[in-house]
Amino acid sequence: MVELEWSRAIELPRAAGTATRPADIRVAWVHRAPEDRVLALYRAACANDEPVPSPWWLRAVAAGALESRELGFRIEDRIDKLLGRRPGWEYVPWAADGESGYWEFMPSEGGRSGHRIPTTILNTERHPGWIDVLPAHSGITPEPIAVAGLGGLRARLGEFEAVR
């Protein structure tokens, strides 16, 4: 039963697919319910030591690496604000189940071969900078580049945008 309850907890309405910023998809139970209840259900769902679909910030909060869900939301919103002022960046709300979405640099999609996966910025619980960048690529997905927070992203955006 816990698996079904968790599935419903992360479920987003179909309208979330048209979101243009992270705040637009924060409508599932995990986004609105009291944080202690969200953590309790998440831990119950993970009791079999198998990963369950979940937002990056929830994995970080559950591990004790991030102070709160609200801080995770603030991180996403600050990235969105930074990228929203720059041409070429687009928010993609339809990430994997339970995930928070990501941003793509659309000019990097064409490249020399015509069809590539564009440069992608996503949030992660892998490191305390909370931001990973996947360079534009074709074929095998490259290792993510760990970025040192919003300041690190701001400092390196020109570098990430230069890869076309």
Domain boundaries in the chain?
2-162
The dihedrals phi and psi of 111, each to the nearest 5 degrees, come to 60, -170
Averaged in consecutive runs of 10 residues, what is the pLDDT profile of the chain (164 residues)? Answer: 91 82 94 97 92 95 98 98 96 86 91 77 97 93 96 96 77
Angle between helices 69-84 and 149-162 (to 10 degrees): 30
pLDDT computed for residue 40 by the predictor = 97
Residue 31: closest CA among 80, 90, 101 = 101
Distance CA(129)–CA(60), nearest Å, equals 12
pLDDT computed for residue 113 by the predictor = 57
pTM: 0.92
